[in-house]
Amino acid sequence: MSYYLKLILGDIIQYRALILHYSASFSEIFSYTACRQLSQMFLAILFFHTSEFILAIVIHGRSNVTLSSLLISAHYILAMIFSLAEYIFEIVFFPELKEYWVISNVGLTVVVIGEVIRKLAILTAGHAFTHLIRTHRHDDHRLVTHGIYGFMRHPGYSGFFIWSVGTQIMLCNPISVVAFAVVVWRFFAKRIPYEEYFLRRFFGRDYKEYAKKVGSGVPFIN
């Protein structure tokens, strides 16, 4: 009888130890590391989308702007959910992975750089910058080659690419860093040639000469 009692007590102690272990692990979700990194992520997303919407209103007028200017799609939401799920899983089971503050701070810097590049693109292009690709030339549509457009043809796309990957570096999310880089790059690899088909129709030789001198701004996309 005492033998079975010892077995039962041993199992109870083991289960209690496991419960305490996982309770301690889940408490990492409310740690300083998680609070700081997730709050930085939330603020980065909030600033990015609200500033996009406000600039669209200022440049194009409220009557010409819809909620689509917030740039929040179903695919985007799924990507952010995946990112958050990875973060929670890793901080619970591999909390030390999130303590590489040098990497996290580099990610924060990358986020700021991407944000600045994109906003410079919007402010420089003015009315020529739209969230939807124009398939017909408007009277106010001009070829912008000065400012940041003198360094890259698509600073808006470059800025978003840098910003999106930077958010995942900031969270120390190794899987999402790769996933975001691949998915966003593939999106622009299709979008840029499609957009430039119309730009060549609109501006002819001027755009061809411009494209020869200035890169796209997104790696490995000419």
Residue range 33-87, pLDDT digits in tens:
999 999 999 999 999 999 999 999 999 898 878 777 667 889 999 999 999 999 9
> Are the beta carbons of 170 and 107 closer than 8 angstroms?
yes
> Are the beta carbons of 172 and 97 closer than 8 angstroms?
yes
The CATH number that applies at residue 155 is 1.20.120.1630
For residue 100, give its domain range.
36-213
Residues 22 and 54 in one domain: no
Contacts for 33 with CB less than 8 Å, ≥ 6 apart = 91, 95, 98, 99
* pLDDT of 21: 47
Is residue 144, in this structure, part of any structural domain at all?
yes
Is residue 221, in this structure, part of any structural domain at all?
no
Residues 122 and 42 in one domain: yes
101-125 and 32-60 are packed helices; what angle lies between their axes, rounded to 10 degrees? Answer: 0
Residue range 123-167, pLDDT digits in tens:
999 999 988 888 888 877 899 999 999 999 999 999 999 999 999
- For the segment 87-94, the average pLDDT, to the nearest whole number, is 95
Is residue 220, in this structure, part of any structural domain at all?
no
- Among 102-116, 133-147, 170-184, the range scoring the smallest mean pLDDT is 133-147
Contacts for 146 with CB less than 8 Å, ≥ 6 apart = 124
Residues 13 and 55 in one domain: no
Residues 147 and 169 in one domain: yes
Total number of domains constituting the chain = 2
Residues 78 and 148 in one domain: yes
Please state, for a pLDDT cut of 90, what percent of the chain lies above it.
Answer: 73
Residues 114 and 202 in one domain: yes
- For the segment 17-21, the average pLDDT, to the nearest whole number, is 45
Is residue 219, in this structure, part of any structural domain at all?
no
* Residue that wins the pLDDT comparison between 219 and 9: 219
In this predicted structure, the answer to whether residue 24 has a pLDDT above a threshold of 50 is no
Residues 143 and 192 in one domain: yes
Using pLDDT thresholds of 50, 70 and 90, give the confidence band for residue 110.
Answer: very high
Contacts for 5 with CB less than 8 Å, ≥ 6 apart = none
Residues 115 and 132 in one domain: yes
Residues 108 and 150 in one domain: yes
Residues 26 and 44 in one domain: no
Rg (alpha carbons) of the chain, rounded to whole number: 24
Residues 41 and 76 in one domain: yes
Residue with tokens 């958050």: 84
Residue range 112-132, pLDDT digits in tens:
999 999 999 999 999 999 888
Tell me the CA distances in angstroms from 29 to 34, 139, 211, one per residue in order. Answer: 6, 53, 48
